[in-house]
Structures are given as structure tokens and as C-alpha cells.
Structure 1
Amino acid sequence: MQQLKTPKRIARTVLNALKGGVVPRIGLPYIAVGRKAEIDALLSDVEIVAEGGASFRFITGRYGSGKSFLLQTIRAYAMDRGFVVADADLSPERRLQGTKGQGLATYKELLQNLATKTMPEGGALTLILERWMAAVKAQLAQEDVLPGTPQYLPAAEAKILGAVAKLGEVVHGFEFSTLLVKYFRALTEGDDETRARVVKWLRGEYATRAEAKAELGISLIVTDDNWYDFIKILALFLKGAGYAGLLVLIDELVNLYKIPNSVSRQYNYEKILTIYNDALQGRARHLGIIMGGTPQAVEDRRRGLFSYEALRSRLASGRFSIEGRQDLMSPVIRLEPLSTEELLVLIEKLQKMHAELYGTEEKLDEKALAHFLELEYDREGAATLITPREIIRDFIEVLNLLMQHPGLTVDELLKSDDFTPASAALEVPGAAPAPAARRFTDFDL
């Protein structure tokens, strides 16, 4: 199948991000390779969420293995299927639970990154509200209930409350419905200040109940303790607003593993257990959650998720799963390394994207591409330590050098001592010799 030409804005974003060692938020379909089984498994969860259920998955892989890439790929697929997606990376300041606003900080990040197909880079909360209010107005117009008439606002409020009646069945659903009514009234009356206050409340930016009570008449705010309740409410609201549901992506679980205080770690793991149980026991609807972390952050029995017995008993693999043969319907998906054939396809795509962006020729033929991979793997420790991230960074550097130095040939560059793979620092003194690297004749060209 011929590779589609990548728009220049997307190509530049993709190449710059990959050279910097991070995963771009746009353009991933142009370079996606492999992971078909994992993607299919996660998309089956997306279908469950669209049908009114909930799902929870963990994706584990060491740094640079493609874990974040897979999360962002699923993010793009979900938005194409009508989902709203929210994503956040955990950090020392952003956790799932905390005494200094760390849980609330994660909620704020999720709401800030709320994205739809038309606003894939985030900041879609106001757009979602406006779209829903426009639908309410259209329904009223069809019923000949027009703005400015005495019955307009009461009819609108009744329609809003009727549409979100299901929210009354969940914790804090009444307050959420009240806010929607206030937003519609403010929109109709041109009260931008009240609209801004409602958005501020939804984003978790009120510091005290007294402040919210004074400005909105609601003595409730989003806090470290209750933020997940509002994620569940938001998922139900989005379904009623015409979206397929809400997909939440949380990466860098290693930052929970790094919490020095064991009690604080356990509180965060307890929060994960609560969310996990909600999803699998049917207490959450139209909500999908995927968390990503390193194998150590999940499976370490001293500090990782598996140090919390209730999580370990739910997440540990059965005795029939082994490396290379895992159950992709289990709660934890463990990423296997990309094959050399998949890496070859990936760097072919990157070379084509680079050439189209800068108007240069593709200088590396299949034999040269295979030789590049051979160089990447042909050093001590590479077989177990090298990741797609290092390979991609090195390859983009090769493309940049060939473009910037027109007189430089591929053979001169790849055979020169001046070209030192960026990941050479991965070599481990005293490590056992790595298996022999595969030569280009093994790549089934």
C-alpha cells in the first residue's frame, strides 16, 4: 500500500518531536507500524465503552519501548470514533491522591487536555459545552419556543434537566446539572462572567467552597478526594451530548513508584483499585481508562502496584502466559519489542516523510536501511537495552546529516567513526555479551 503524503505542518511536528525523544500528539497514523494485536485489544475496549460499559487497562513497557506511542495512537483512533479523550502524565506534582492538591492537579491536567476530533490538541471543554447548548436551542426552535419569550428559559431548563436526568443517579450529579442550567441561562443572557465561572468550576479551579458558594451558589468544589466522581459524571454528560464516551489516558505511573513515603504510595494504589473496581463492576459507564508505566512500576512487589496485594491479585498474569504468548484481554498488556522487520518499515516511512518535507531525495536504499539497523544492534547490550526511541533518534540524525552535507555519502557516514549511535551510552560495563546482531541478509528484503 502506498504511503500517504504527510502535510508539511504534521511532518515537521512529527520529526521534531521524535528527534527530541518525545511522542507527537498528531500525525501518528502516518508512521504507525506493528502493535496490531495490542491496538485491536484496546479498540475492543473502546467498543465496550461506546456501548455503555467501562474498561480499565494497564500498558507496561520500559522507557522508549513505544508505550507512550501506543497510548497516543489509541488516542487518535478514539477521537476518530467520536470519543472525547483526556490525557495526563503523572509527576511529583500530579498524582491520583495527595494531601497537597496532587490529585486535583491531575484532574486539572485532564480537563485542560480534553480533546475531540475537531480540537485534537486539547482545550475542548468550552467547545463541548457550546455544542451541547446549541443542540438544546435547536430543539426549542423546532418546538417554536423562541428566545425572548416568557417560556423560553423555563422550557430550556426543563429540557436540560430532562436530558441529564441520569446524572441525578450518581454522586454530585445534581450539582453538575445545576451548573449546566446556569451556563445555558448565562449564554442566553450574554452573561460572560457567569459562563467563565462555570468553566472555572468544571476545571477544578475553585480553591474553597465559600468562594464557589458566593459566585455560583454551589457549596461543592472538585477536590483531591472527589475528582474521580466528576470524571464519571463527565463521561455520562458527554454521551448525552452526542459523543461516544470518554477515554482517559494516564502515563508515567513510575512517578507513583517513586513516592518515598510508603503510606502515600499505598493511598495512590488504593485510588487505582477504586477506579479499577468501578470500571469492572459496572459502576462507571461510557468511561475507558488506560494507564501506562514501566514493568518495574507495576510488578515490583516492594514499591510497585504489586506491593498492594489487592491490585497484585487482580493484575498478575496467570501461569499459562509466558513471554511471547500473553493474554491480550488481561488487565495488563506487556509490550513486546518491535521486530526488526517492523523497525525497517518504520525507518522507511520516516525517510519518505523527511524527503517530502525538505524536498530531498531518499538516499538510503533497503540495503542501507538494513545496514543502519545492523549498526544499531551491533554493540554490547543492545539486544536487551536498545529501544525504538534511540533507533529513531539516531536515524533522524542520519537523515539530517545527509541533507545538511550534500557531499556526504551514505557509505561514508555509516562507515565513519564519526557516527556514534546516541544510544551507545546504554552499554553496561561487565554485562554478558549480547547475541550476535542480525545482518541485513536476515531482514527478508
Structure 2
Amino acid sequence: MTPKVSRARRRQIIEALGRGTVPRSGLDLFAVGMERFEKALDDELAAVTAGSAGFKAVRGEYGSGKTFFARWLAERAKRKRMATSEIQISDRATPLHRLETVYRSLIGALSTATSPPSALRDIVDTWLLALEDDAGVAKDNRSAMTAAVEDLIETRLAETAKNAPAFATALRFYRRARLSGDNATADGLLAWVGGEPNVAASVRRYAGLKGDLDSTAALHFLQGLLVVLRDCGYPGLLVVLDEVETLQRMRSDNRERSLNALRQLIDEIDKGRFPGLYLVITGTPAFYDGQQGVQRLTPLAQRLHTDFRTDPRFDTARAVQIRLTGFDRDKLVQLGGAVRDLYAQGNPAEQRITALVDDAYIKDLATSVAGHLGVGVAPRIFLRKLVADVLYRVSDHEDFDPRRDYRQVTVTESELSEDELNAFRRSRAAVSADEVELDLP
């Protein structure tokens, strides 16, 4: 039984699936196969919100659902009042060896259950209001309140200030600028706290700030951010570094530095430097097992080692590394049925949708897509076909019958991502995906 979902939320989910993208929310409504991870990951998230820290490496081939998994986990984290941030690692825009760019991307994607990206302003303003409540000073005594709040800023961020005093300084002057109505300066200071490099010199002079953020300072700023989050009611931060395998395409020196940066992050988490942080990385098996990836740095390979020689049925989500095995036909059918029910809910054509797109038809569609494209690249394409080519048409045209009018399912090269196309070509001898026609029974 599909739970009741608001029309707006349902529309956002369906439109994303119809475009072939992973929805930003509502993933619990069709999280097929995720139940085997729930207990262990919920336990780990609970430990993080209690002041611990955690790390998880996720492995899976292209199309196995790594991004889906990351966003599904982020939703569970937000239910525990954690903040979240998803970062796409890129050899140009967000290289892992430059932690200042990773931190800047983290801030840009920072969100909470009530604040969309970037939530930094909402978080900082909430924190400053909380400090006013904690100050124990009459709110109409402005000078005393300012002194008390600034003392609290320094006290709460004392650990961060040992190595990065500028973090607390920028927040003190941010509050001053806001109170004086100088919004431009306040915006510039908040941007500087978020790691932006192009902050006006006048803004820096106002707070006595010098230079830009570097990789070392970025980790100290992350410490400070965790304190701010905890103080204003967000007991943890889930950070996802998605597509870490892209560092295999970097120049060898940058690849070495990126792998070492990842090792450093894991070690700092283990040492307890980042209480409240849960770090997740995603990558392909080639990244974890190949000589251009994790295996290139022995200390990192030792930290991430997990024995996957056993039957996947006996995997444990408590291991440092977990694997996503992709979708078999039964899972595709279950997934398709959940999406169909979600689409039909509240639709004027609900009865016709459930009658024409029944479980038997979904099974035939899943069999065709999985059989011709390979299960590993099938889920995204399968859902896009189901939503955009079948459900939309059944809903819009009373005389459309998918068994009669959509017997030949064609996949064009433009529909496949570069990684999907490469995976498809490796598994099939076809020169082009345009040659593939899927005949439904």
C-alpha cells in the first residue's frame, strides 16, 4: 500500500524520474532493496548524533544506485535532525586534493529538513539567536548583549580558534554588520566563512581578515561548522563525496594527493576530530580494487579493505565498505510497481493506469529493458521509459494501450550517459545503442 503523498511532492518525484534523474526527496517511497541497510546505518547515524563520528565507503557499478543510496541515506539523516551535503567530486571543479574546494562545495550544497541549499545563512542566524538566548542579558541592552554574544562565540569556537581564529572573527563581524544594516558586508563575510575566494577587499578589512581559505584551514572551518550546527539543534552532518572514482582520471601527482587527502580525512574521523560528522564516499569497484585507485596508496587500501568473496546475501552494512549489487528483474518489477502506484495516486485516470500498467506489463517491460541493456544500466532507463513513455501517455490519452501502442521500445544513444554507454558497449557487441530495439511480449 503506497502511503499518501502530497500532490506537490509526488509531482517532483515523478518529473525527476521522467527526466532520468534521481529525485532529491521522497526516495523512501520506492527504496527497493534498501531495507538490508536500514538497521546498521540508523545505528551509526544515532551514534554520530550522540557525539561520535563515522565513515562509510559505498561501491557499485554504474547504474547500481549509488546516488540513489546517498540521497536515501541523507533523508534518513534529516529525520534525525542532521544537516546534509552532497558533493560531486570532479577533477576540475571539485578535486579531492584541494580540500578548500571540497569545503566550498559542501557549504554550497548544505541543507537541512527545513532549509534548502545553501542553508549556511539560516544555520548561522539560528545559532546567533540561540547565543542571545544563552547570554543571560536583557535584549534591550544592546551593548551588553553584543559583548556577551561575542564572548560566547569565542568560547564555543575556542577549539577551532586555536588553529583558525578567523572563523570566529568572521562570524563576530558578520553579526555586527547585520545589526548595523550593512547587508553587503554581512553577505561578504558569510561568503568568506563559506570558503568563497573572491570576497571584496573592503569586506576583509572590515573584519581584519587576510588571505583565502587553504586545505588546512578548510578542515578547521569544518570543525567550527560542526560546533555551530550542534549548538543550534543539528546534532550532526552527513557529507557525501559522490563519484570519487573520477580521481583516477587525474594527473598522477594530483591523484596521489587526492588519495592521501581521503586517507587523512578517515584518520581524522577515527581520532575524534570531527564529532558529529558522518562521511560517505561512493565509487566503482575499479576505484576500490584497481591500481589507479585506492590500491595505489597502501595505507588507504588497508583502511578500506572489506572481503567481498562471500555471497552478497551475507554482506554486512556495518563493514567500512558496502556494495550495491544493482537490480535483478524482480527488483525492477517491484520498483516499477511502486512508481506506478505513486503516479496513479490521486490521478483522475487511476483505474485505467492500474489496469493497463499492471504488474504483468511492468514485468514484461522490465524483462525487455534489463535483457537488452543489461541490468546494471537498466534502472534509470527503465524508470524513464515507464514514466515518460507509458504512464504519461496512459494518463493523457484514453485510447492509448501500452501493449498495443508501445510494443517496440527504442533506446537511443542520447538517452544514455557516457558511463552507461561505455558499460553497455562493454557488455554488448553492438556498435551503437541506436541499433537496439526492445520488443515487448
**Shorter-chain TM-score range:** 0.7 to 0.9
Report SS of the residue matched to 2:267: helix
**Secondary structure of the corresponding residue to residue 240 of structure 2:** strand
Letter in 1 for 2:154: L
Pairing 1:285–2:275 present: yes
Name the CA shift for 1:239/1:321 in 2 (closer, same or farther; >3 Å).
farther
Where do 1:160-309 residues align within 5 Å? Answer: 160-168=153-161, 171-172=163-164, 174-207=165-198, 213-259=204-250, 261-301=251-291, 303-309=292-298
Residues 374 and 150 of structure 1: CA distance in aligned 2, closer, same or farther (over 3 Å): closer
> Secondary structure of the equivalent of 1:226?
helix
Partners of 2:63 and 2:326 within 8 A in 1: no
Partner in structure 1 of residue 343 of structure 2: 354
Residues 154, 382 of structure 1: alpha-carbon distance in 2 compared, 3 angstrom cutoff: closer
- Cα separation, 2, equivalents of 1:228 and 1:150: 33
Paired residues of 1:183 and 1:198 also in contact (CA < 8 A): yes
Q: Report if the CA contact (8 A) 2:64-2:324 is conserved.
A: yes
Deviations 1:106-135 (A, max 9, x none): 32221111101111x311111111111122
Secondary structure of 1:22's counterpart equals: coil
Q: Which has the higher helix share?
A: 2
SS of alignment partner, residue 345 of structure 2 = helix
Distance 1:233-1:134 versus aligned 2 partners, 3 A rule: closer
- Specify whether residues 197 and 429 from structure 1 end up closer, same or farther in structure 2 by C-alpha distance, changes over 3 A only: closer
Match of 1:365 in 2: 358
| Residues 1:145 and 2:144 are matched in the alignment | no
Is the aligned partner of 1:54 residue 2:37? Answer: no
SS of 1:86's partner is strand
Which of 100, 105, 111 aligns to 2:101? It is 105
Equivalent residue, structure 1, for 2:382: 391
Whole-angstrom CA distance in 1 between matches of 2:308 and 2:384: 38
Name the SS of the counterpart of 2:409 in structure 1: coil
Q: Deviations over 1:244-280 (max 9, x none)?
A: 1111111011221121x11110100010000011112
Tell me which residue corresponds to 2:399.
Answer: 407
Q: Which residue pairs with 1:8 in the alignment?
A: 7
Measure the CA separation in 2 of the matches of 1:181 and 1:134: 13
Cα distance in 2 between the residues matched to 1:211 and 1:36:
53
Kindly report which structure 2 residues correspond to 1:398-437, keeping only aligned pairs within 5 A, or say none: 398-413=390-405, 416=407, 418-420=408-410, 426=424, 428-429=427-428
CA offsets 1:276-306 (integer angstroms, 9 cap, x no match): 11112222211111011222122212x1122
- Could you state the TM-score of these two structures normalised by the residue count of structure 1? 0.85
Runs (5+) with no aligned partner, structure 1: 432-445
- 3-state SS, counterpart of residue 282 of structure 1: coil
Q: Give the Å deviation of 1:233.
A: 2.3
Which sections of structure 2, spanning at least 5 residues, go unmatched?
Answer: 431-441
TM-score of the aligned structures, taking structure 2 as reference length: 0.85
